[in-house]
Chains A and B, each alone.
Chain A
Amino acid sequence: MKIMNCPLNGPRNISEFVWGGEVKPMPDPASVDDRTWAAWLFLENNEAGVVREWWCHVPTSFWFIAERNTVTDEILRTYAAGDVFNTRVEFAPKAAENK
């Protein structure tokens, strides 16, 4: 079986993991329009080549980031999300819209 290296738990069978989408920079939630926000949430670039993706180790619910070559399906490296997302993001309430 294919093996993935979980940053918390070490090398494990790939069946213990689920894919969580590409890592994309979040648009500013206070100023973004709905279309861009929805695109960020739901649309994947689906690139051929090396991409950064969210993966979850299901037995521990541990989310981390993997760099993977989508052409060869090689997993190049994995690391904790905290290595990248190390500052707190405040979600200020969006100004009320008049409908």
Chain B
Amino acid sequence: MSTIAPVSLKRRSFIYRLLAAEGAQFGEINGGAVPLHFGAGREVELAAARRLALADLSVLPHVGFKGKGTVEWLTAQGLTIGPDSNKAYRQAGGELAARLAPTEIFLIDSLAGTGALIGRLGSAWKWAESAPRPAQGYPTPRQDSHAWFMVAGEFAPEMFAKICGVDLRRDRFAEGAIAQTSMAKMSAIVIRADRQGRDGRVNAAYHVLADIASAEYLWSCLMDAAAEFDGRPVGLLALQDLEQ
């Protein structure tokens, strides 16, 4: 993946200008311009990913499914979804199926961003041609409705404590837990999804999903909150490298 200009692709993050100003270098993943690294050197970004790092994953595939029969339909498609709401269930390909409510799933891709599962579900879902239609739920477009950030590193819970009322410390907010709450005065979905490093260490990581129209605002708030802990933006490669 060579470095590209984000404007050369139609799909790019809403905050690509902010990221470019911070030194982001972009590459193409699945047709979108993804910030791969920030030019500070691999070791610097890896260290940040362990301490406190922000990454913009908004371009990676994510989608929703909702309505009566949703979970049954997704299960028939091979997904593994447990009974509890506000819990994220990891899939075979590393995707996360976040159960926001009994009949609502927010599906985010693995950091490889191939979109394989999401693409397959997109082609498999069809509205029955005639009534009575089976209760199978329906897809909800999330790709362009939600910005998707990752906050990684051991200082992430302390940073969140400044902008979010829910206790996200690791002994209180279990792996896979979801909080749908207010973050920096915005509604946001927070999912704890720790990363198993190749050195055997578990690295704290949280997904943050929020209204994409306010992505610049939320990114600025996160960067501001992270500054106290020397947090910095990292590219996707640093997050992937941690666990390869």
Contact = CB atoms under 8 A, between A and B. Distances in A.
Interface of A: 1, 8-9, 12-13, 15-16, 57-60, 62
A58 B187 contact: yes
Nearest to B164: A13
A12 B85 CA distance: 16
Contacts of B181: 9, 12, 16, 59
Interface of B: 85-86, 100-101, 165-166, 179-182, 187-189
B180 A59 contact: yes
Contacts of A62: 101
A9 B86 contact: yes
A8 B86 CA distance: 8
Contacts of A60: 100-101, 180
A1 B179 contact: no
Contacts of B100: 60
B165 A59 contact: no
Interface residues of B: mostly helix, strand, loop or mixed?
A: strand
Contacts, number: 31
A1 B85 contact: no
Nearest to A1: B165
Q: Which 6 pairs show the lowest CB-CB distances between chains A and B?
A: A59-B187, A13-B165, A60-B180, A59-B180, A16-B182, A59-B181
Contacts of A58: 182, 187
Nearest to A59: B187
A94 B182 CA distance: 42
Nearest to A62: B101
Nearest to A57: B180
A16 B182 CA distance: 7
Nearest to A61: B187
Nearest to B181: A59
Contacts of B179: 9
A9 B165 contact: no
Given A1-B165, A13-B165, A8 B188 contact: no
Contacts of A16: 165, 181-182
Contacts of A9: 86, 179-181
B180 to A, nearest CB: 5
B170 to A, nearest CB: 17
19 contacts: A8-B85, A8-B101, A9-B86, A9-B180, A9-B181, A12-B166, A12-B181, A13-B182, A15-B182, A16-B181, A58-B187, A59-B180, A59-B181, A59-B188, A59-B189, A60-B100, A60-B101, A60-B180, A62-B101
